[in-house]
Every structure is written in C-alpha cells, then in structure tokens.
A and B are shown apart, each in its own frame.
Chain A
Amino acid sequence: MTTLTLRQEPSERLDFLHVNPLALSGLSESEAAKLPVGTSRRGLTLGDCFSLSLDGSDTLIIEGGSSRLDRVGAALSGGTIRVVGDVGQRLGEGMKSGSVTVTGSAGPFAGAGATGGTITIEGDAGDHAGGAVYAAKAGLDGATLVIRGTAGDHLGDRMRRGLILVGRAGAYAGSRMIAGTIAATALGDHPGFGMRRGTILAGAAGAITPSFVETGTHDLVFLRLLARSLRPLSPAHADLAASALTRYSGDLATLGKGELWVAAT
C-alpha cells in the first residue's frame, strides 16, 4: 500500500484535492513529491511535508493527520484512503466511489456533495458535516457518511441523497434537507428546519420547530427496512429504528414532506 507520513504539523493549510490513490499510482516517488499541496506563496509540495512510500496500489495510508489537511479524498473515484489522525475541512467532498476512513476527527463540510462511496469518521466531525458548501445546491448527495463520535451544527444541511449515521449532533441537523436519511442517537434543537423531504431518525431531540406537527406513532414497513439497512453499520441505530417512535411531519414552512422520528418517551 502507498503510505504518506507527515513529518511535522504543517505551517499552513494543505490541499489534498489531487492526492489520491489513482493520481499517485502513475507517479514515481520523485514526481509525487513535487505535487503542489500548499496554499500560500511558499509553494509547499507533498515531498516538503510528507515522506513517501509508493507501490501503485489503490490503498493510500496517511500516517499522522492534521486539522490543516483539507479536501482529503475529495473527488475520489475509487480506492481506499485511511488517515491515521485528524483532517481539515471538506473530507471526501464530491467523492464518487471508494472509501475514506479517518481515525481522528474531521473539520467542517465532511462529505459535502459526495455522490457515492463511504466516509467514516471514527472521532468527531465539525459543523456542516454532510452539508452544502457555499453556493452549492446540495450537501451529501448519495454517499454514506458514518460519524462514530459527535457532529457539530447543521449536520446534513441541504442534503440531497444518501445516509448519515452519527452519534450525537448539534442544532439544526437536517436543515434545508432535500432528501436522504439521517440517523442519530441524539440531536440538538430544531432538527429538520426548512427540510422539504427526507427522513431524520433520532433517539432524542432538542426543541422541535413549531412548523413540525406530531402525527402519532406508527408501525411501518419502512422502519423495518430502515432498521435492516442500518444494522451492518450500527446495531444501536438499527435498534433505535426498530423501537417505538413518534413521528413529526415537516417542515410545513416548505414542502412539508419530510419526517422526523424521535424515540417515544
């Protein structure tokens, strides 16, 4: 497997848009070392910041992460990236397939616009995980985003397709959601603000927006199918989907075809 080992904490934010298994597979180590990753006038290259060990495989290991590593796995179209440590903003932005795993925490906008593949964050995620970046039409757009720890505010903002699975998340989870599914053990205030369609499943939620209305408890086939699809990723979330749930419909300020399922108390 190809391994990049961070020498020391980078002095500036680094952009990994063009550093992925496919791009590195056709390069020699000296060519790869010249890939520009810096974002300032210093003109930092990959070789300035990392020691490289390339074997042309479709697996890339980044040893020693940093909250300044931006766009790791962005536009990934196959292969595997594993980061041992933290990453910065826009993890897996716009990725199409493959898998990205981060053992530490991720900055904001993880999985923004990702249309396929799986992104796993074993630590925490920042704000707007699975959310849309500035001026983008959609956030997560078909990929699977798994956050084992907690996520910040605006999780899945303007999400369009796909699945987000998270422990706890902050306020305004699923805001302006177009479609897709979010499953969480707990959410902050006002989940689903402005959502048009989509499903949010939560073990607990903060204040519910008054433009959501409670529609009772239901035993739907959909929930059983959802539980089945969640079980391989997280048995706890699958158990939640299979438990007694109260349904809220909303956001009635918009299209109102979204649903918020909260564990019945």
Chain B
Amino acid sequence: MAAWVKGGATDAGAAVDAAATLLAAARTPVVAGLCAELSAIRAAYHLADAIGASVDPVAGASLYAELGSLSRTGAMLTTPAEAIGRADTLLIVGNAPWDRSIVQEIAESVPSRGRAAGTERSILSLGGPRNGATRHVAYPAETGGLAISVAHLRAFLKGHLAGEAAYADLAKRLAAAQYGVVLYDPSELGELGVEMLQGMVKDLNEVTRFFALAVSDPFQGRALLQLAAWTTGQAPRVGFGRHVPEHDPWRFDSARQIAAGEVDAALWLASLPAPRPDWLATLPSIAIVGEGSPEAAGDVADIVIAVGVPGESTGGALWNERRSTITYTPPAGQPAELNAAGVIAAIQDRLVQMKGASC
C-alpha cells in the first residue's frame, strides 16, 4: 500500500486530498527533510512558496558549517579527481572522512599529473582513528577538539609557535608538500573549525599549493544547495511567510521552530534514507518517504505517502560525490507507481483547486 491517513491505508488520491486540507489550514507550516531527488526538492520549494512555509533540509547542520565560513572568508577548494591525480600530501582531519571511499582511492594511487607527478604520496591524519587499515602518519587531536587542534597546528605553520611538538613536525610536512589536500567533514569540524582550516590552507598557499576537499553530507545537501541558490538566490533555510524568500539560518531551523511552538504543520520529504525527526509525530504532519523504508508506515505521521526511491524505483538527479556535481541516476529496478515530485505537485494543484472553490 502506498499511502496512509491517520494510520489507515488508503489510495494516493485520498492521501493527497488529506495533505492539501491539512496544509490549507496551516498558517506557519514547515517543509523539512528534503533528502530526495532534485525534482522533488524543486517541487517542495514551489509548494513552500505557495503556502508560506519555511524550508529546512536535514543536511542543514553540515551545509551551514561550510557556508558560515564560505560566506565570510571564502575557500580554496579542489575536486576528488584533482586530489587523486595531483596530491602528494593528504591530510585527513577527524574520523568521519575515513569512512569515505576516496581515502582508499587516494591511498592506492600516486600522483599522476602536475608538479608532484610520479612522487610518493603521504597520508597524514589529525585526530583520526588508529586502525592501521591505511598506511598513514597519525597526530592526535587536542583535548578541546578538532577546531582547537587545527588552530594549534596553524600557529606552528605561521611560525608563531616553535619547538619539538608533534604539530611542529606536521606543519613541516604540510609546508613541504608540492600539492597538498586536506580532507574533512564540515559537520564534524564545525563552522569555527572550517574557517580556521580554510585560513590554514590560505596560509599554506603562501609557500606551496594546498587545497581543501570537504566530504559531502549523505542527505543530498550539496545538490539542494545549488537548487536553493538558483531558485531563491539564498542558502537553503528560507521562509516564504512574507511572500519573498527570507534567509535566516537561526529562525528557520525546524527543530528550534517546533520546540518553540512556532509551527502548526509539517511536511517531511525523504524519498532517500534520512533520520526521522523526533518531532514528526508531535504536530499535524505529512511524510513523503521512500517505499520500503522503515518510515513507510501509517504511524509515522498523520498522512504518509510512499514514493519511489531515486536510483532504485525511480530516476532522479542526485549529488555525485565522485564527480562533485549533480548527475541523473536511472532506476535500477521496476519503477514505482508514485514519485515524490508528482505527489508534491498534486498536493499543490489540490490546494489551488480548494482556494478557487472557496472564492
């Protein structure tokens, strides 16, 4: 079954009608999650605009750790392909990047082009695991965390601190790189840490070539960020309450809004796997979720509509981390009956019909 209303199984049409009725009665709704194919995210933004909702993606924390720094100080970034092809030194900050396939890919290759071509590649770790799976030189993090560690390292790099400390050795290795890359996860490092790291990369470019490479969040945040920019001219957390997209990362943080009682209805969009928020069952809500997921059940929200999962049961434009861009992913299996973009568009059409009927 593809849809549930108040826990009871129903057809998609009835669920769309119920969703439109719920949203029509709302005054300060929120559209959250947005872990989906790009067409569905686009439809969600258009729906939010139509009903005066605010928008907050599940990737928000990771995106804003990066954007907060980028918007003020800029960034020196590279792509995975450039890192694999050119880097003779890779610094991995924290634990999170070690789970990504790019680490193994870099570890098993050598620089093949550019000024470091043919040289041996060294992998350095700051505050990472010591599992020995990949040959690397490890430097422990400071007790204050990764951001503090990066600041301490940067002080040695700038020559403001000196001595026989471990970070002094790491600083020498980084400065000796011909083409260095630092790999990090913005959500693990935090905004202050990202800004400090980007400052360190800029300092390193005074003496050599060095770039940052942030691993992407697993919730389509990078793709969503581009869509938000070309749709609203803003970063993702916007509100349409006053008919124009207002950007305010604090005000439109959905968890904060709901905790403060500022929201009277929510639409949760997650056709791809995303952690279900605690608040979903606490207010009038609609969940548009991937079929076969644990969330595709009647008790998750007032109205639940199961849709095709992009890349599995429907096609969709998704973030391609390896290529650092948005690419189309065809369905791997039998196409689903419903897709998220179609369901959201149907809700919006129904809202327009209801508004016309009430005039």
Residues of chain A at the chain B interface (Cβ within 8 Å) = 11-13, 38-42, 67-68, 70, 89, 108-109, 132, 134-137, 158, 172, 175-176, 189-190, 193-194, 207, 209-211, 213, 251-254, 256
A41 and B192 alpha carbons, distance in the complex (Å): 36
Q: Is the CB of B152 within 8 A of A39?
A: no
Q: Is the CB of B158 within 8 A of A13?
A: no
- Tell me which residues across on chain A come within 8 A of B27, comparing CB atoms: 11-12, 40-42
4 shortest A-B CB distances, which residue pairs? A252-B160, A41-B52, A135-B71, A253-B151
Q: Within the complex, which residue of B72, B155, B243, B251 is in contact with A89, where a contact is CB–CB below 8 Å?
A: B251
- Tell me which residues across on chain B come within 8 A of A42, comparing CB atoms: 27
- Tell me which residues across on chain A come within 8 A of B143, comparing CB atoms: 207
Residues of chain B at the chain A interface (Cβ within 8 Å) = 27-28, 51-52, 64, 67-68, 71-72, 142-144, 147-148, 150-152, 154-155, 158, 160-161, 192, 195-196, 199-200, 235, 239, 241-243, 246-251, 260, 262
- Tell me which residues across on chain A come within 8 A of B247, comparing CB atoms: 134
Q: Nearest-CB distance from B91 to chain A (Å)?
A: 16
Q: Is the CB of A40 within 8 A of B241?
A: yes
- Tell me which residues across on chain B come within 8 A of A207, comparing CB atoms: 143-144
Max chain B Cβ within 10 angstroms of own Cβ: one of A12, A108, A253: A253
- Tell me which residues across on chain A come within 8 A of B200, comparing CB atoms: 253
Q: Is the CB of B147 within 8 A of A193?
A: yes
- Given A89-B251, A137-B72, A211-B151, check contact A190 B158 (CB 8 Å): no
Q: Is the CB of B148 within 8 A of A210?
A: yes
- Tell me which residues across on chain B come within 8 A of A211, comparing CB atoms: 148, 151-152, 154-155, 160-161
- Tell me which residues across on chain B come within 8 A of A132, comparing CB atoms: 72
Q: Is the CB of B195 within 8 A of A194?
A: yes
Quick one: closest B residue to A213, CB to CB? Answer: B161
Q: Is the CB of A193 within 8 A of B72?
A: no
Q: Nearest-CB distance from B144 to chain A (Å)?
A: 6
- Given A39-B239, A41-B27, check contact A13 B148 (CB 8 Å): no
Max chain B Cβ within 10 angstroms of own Cβ: one of A11, A40, A67: A40
A60 and B260 alpha carbons, distance in the complex (Å): 27
Q: Nearest-CB distance from B61 to chain A (Å)?
A: 14
A210 and B27 alpha carbons, distance in the complex (Å): 50
A142 and B108 alpha carbons, distance in the complex (Å): 54
Q: Within the complex, which residue of A40, A134, A175, A213 is in contact with B52, where a contact is CB–CB below 8 Å?
A: A40
- Given A89-B251, A211-B161, check contact A251 B151 (CB 8 Å): yes
- Given A209-B148, A210-B152, check contact A12 B161 (CB 8 Å): no
Q: Within the complex, which residue of A40, A134, A137, A193 is in contact with B192, where a contact is CB–CB below 8 Å?
A: A193
Q: Is the CB of A194 within 8 A of B151?
A: yes
A236 and B235 alpha carbons, distance in the complex (Å): 43
- Tell me which residues across on chain B come within 8 A of A70, comparing CB atoms: 251
Q: Nearest-CB distance from B23 to chain A (Å)?
A: 12
A209 and B155 alpha carbons, distance in the complex (Å): 11
Q: Nearest-CB distance from B239 to chain A (Å)?
A: 7
A11 and B195 alpha carbons, distance in the complex (Å): 37
Q: Is the CB of A176 within 8 A of B250?
A: no
A42 and B27 alpha carbons, distance in the complex (Å): 7
Quick one: closest A residue to B154, CB to CB? Answer: A253
Q: Nearest-CB distance from B274 to chain A (Å)?
A: 24
- Tell me which residues across on chain A come within 8 A of B151, comparing CB atoms: 193-194, 209-211, 251, 253
Q: Is the CB of A252 within 8 A of B71?
A: no
Q: Is the CB of A41 within 8 A of B250?
A: no
- Tell me which residues across on chain A come within 8 A of B241, comparing CB atoms: 12, 38-41
Quick one: closest B residue to A157, CB to CB? Answer: B192
A115 and B309 alpha carbons, distance in the complex (Å): 51
Q: Nearest-CB distance from B242 to chain A (Å)?
A: 6
Q: Nearest-CB distance from B55 to chain A (Å)?
A: 14
A251 and B199 alpha carbons, distance in the complex (Å): 13
A134 and B196 alpha carbons, distance in the complex (Å): 17
A252 and B168 alpha carbons, distance in the complex (Å): 14
Quick one: closest A residue to B143, CB to CB? Answer: A207
Q: Is the CB of A189 within 8 A of B192?
A: no
- Tell me which residues across on chain B come within 8 A of A252, comparing CB atoms: 155, 158, 160-161
